[in-house]
């Protein structure tokens, strides 16, 4: 069904739906929920909320209200676990300036938590996944490797410092990065989640008149992830991501096997990947660093050739 007011809907793999209400105002909607990726229920609540809000931030929108989505094994799990999850979530919503207006819970064998989010955006200032221009630089705002760290964590192989770093990254809001990018003439943006950096980068250029070069040495990642990847502590999602997109990737053989895995590593609540003119990129990066987005880095650029392909060097 088509509607002249629908700005972003099902037909494109956008991060959120956008519907124009007036010439000045559009509503942004998204929802996401998942099973725990960390043991601490408070941290899980924070991560789930940060992840759910990220889709609004990736489009340049401002989340306003949210509703809890809860699946909980009420007969086998202590209700205090749920309380901690919701407390973590609510604290993160407060940090984001988002108001919790309701929610729904169902009994389920497996615990799940997330949000349905409503936000606003100016109809002419929506930032889509596509629209990268030749010459653009690509800024990534969070380090990669959290999928590998989470996998190693399951078998007690990840170091505490790496675990803390991964949790900190996943729980960090993309709010500031989104607000800062809106001060620049951004061509396109998405957030890095389950498909990994290269998977989401492919979405930005698929069937477009542009390609990309990713400078693997410039990509920020949690240091221990490389060693853990060498030991094969890699989530199955990395292999699926790689197999799904390998036909679009020209991988330089000099890129180490561990770094290749990191580039396809599925992320939870990952950073924004922002495409913007070269003249604006260094300035935005400097402001991000000053504002505490310390891992942000320019990781590559957009080229007119090879169209629809990504060179990783």
Q: Does 143 bind other proteins (CB under 8 A)?
A: no
Regarding beta strands 17-20 and 99-107, do their DSSP bridges make them parallel or antiparallel, or are they unpaired?
Answer: unpaired
Q: Hey, which residues between 119 and 138 contact other proteins (CB under 8 A)?
A: none
Number of C-beta neighbours around residue 18 at 10 A: 26
**Minimal distance in Å, beta carbon 153 to other proteins?**
9
* 15, 191 contact by CB (below 8 A): yes
Structure tokens that stand for 20 in this block:
């124009």
Single residue of 61, 88, 235, 270 touching other proteins by CB under 8 A: 235
Q: Hey, which residues between 242 and 281 contact other proteins (CB under 8 A)?
A: 257
Regarding beta strands 211-214 and 310-312, do their DSSP bridges make them parallel or antiparallel, or are they unpaired?
Answer: parallel
Closer by beta carbon to other proteins, 149 or else 167: 149
Single residue of 233, 262, 272, 293 touching other proteins by CB under 8 A: 233
Q: Does 194 bind other proteins (CB under 8 A)?
A: no
Closer by beta carbon to other proteins, 79 or else 155: 155
Q: Does 68 bind other proteins (CB under 8 A)?
A: no
Single residue of 140, 234, 288, 298 touching other proteins by CB under 8 A: 234
Structure tokens that stand for 213 in this block:
């070069």
Tell me which stretch binds other proteins (CB under 8 A): 80-88, 207-215, 229-237, 284-292.
229-237
Rounded distance between C-alpha atoms, residue 150 and residue 113, angstroms: 18
Structure tokens that stand for 92 in this block:
């993160």
Q: Does 215 bind other proteins (CB under 8 A)?
A: no
**Minimal distance in Å, beta carbon 267 to other proteins?**
17
* 213, 301 contact by CB (below 8 A): yes
Residue 90 dihedral angles phi and psi, to the nearest 5°: -65, -40
Closer by beta carbon to other proteins, 10 or else 155: 155
Count of residues of this chain found to bind other proteins when the rule CB under 8 A is applied: 15
Q: Quick one: how far is CA 227 from the chain centroid?
A: 23
Rounded distance between C-alpha atoms, residue 312 and residue 264, angstroms: 12
Rounded distance between C-alpha atoms, residue 222 and residue 234, angstroms: 14
Residues that bind other proteins (CB under 8 A): 151-152, 154-155, 157, 229-236, 239, 257
């Amino acid at each position: 069904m088509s509607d002249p007011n629908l700005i972003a809907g099902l037909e494109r793999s956008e991060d959120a739906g956008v519907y124009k209400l007036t010439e000045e105002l559009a509503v942004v909607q998204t929802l996401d929920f998942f099973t725990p990726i960390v043991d601490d229920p408070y941290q899980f609540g924070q991560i789930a909320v940060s992840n759910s809000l990220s889709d609004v931030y990736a489009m340049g929108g401002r989340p306003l209200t949210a509703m809890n989505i809860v699946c909980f094994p009420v007969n086998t799990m202590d209700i205090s676990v749920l309380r901690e999850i919701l407390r973590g979530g609510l604290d993160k919503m407060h940090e984001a300036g988002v108001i919790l207006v309701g929610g729904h819970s169902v009994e389920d064998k497996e615990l799940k938590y997330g949000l349905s989010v409503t936000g606003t955006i100016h109809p002419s200032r929506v930032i889509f996944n596509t629209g990268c221009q030749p010459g653009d630089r690509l800024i990534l705002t969070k380090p990669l490797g959290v999928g590998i760290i989470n996998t190693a964590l399951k078998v007690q192989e990840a170091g505490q410092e790496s675990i803390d770093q991964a949790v900190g990254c996943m729980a960090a809001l993309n709010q500031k990065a989104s607000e800062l990018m809106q001060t620049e003439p951004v061509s396109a943006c998405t957030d890095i989640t389950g498909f990994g950096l290269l998977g989401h980068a492919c979405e930005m250029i698929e069937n477009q008149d542009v390609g990309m070069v990713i400078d693997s040495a410039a990509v920020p990642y949690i240091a221990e992830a490389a060693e853990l990847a060498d030991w094969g502590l890699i989530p199955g999602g990395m292999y699926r991501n790689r197999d799904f997109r390998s036909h679009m990737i020209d991988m330089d053989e000099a890129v180490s096997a561990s770094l290749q895995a990191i580039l396809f590593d599925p992320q939870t609540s990952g950073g924004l990947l922002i495409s913007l003119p070269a003249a604006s990129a260094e300035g935005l990066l400097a402001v991000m660093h000053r504002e505490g987005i310390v891992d942000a880095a320019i990781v590559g650029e957009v080229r007119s050739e090879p169209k629809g392909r990504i060179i990783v060097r």
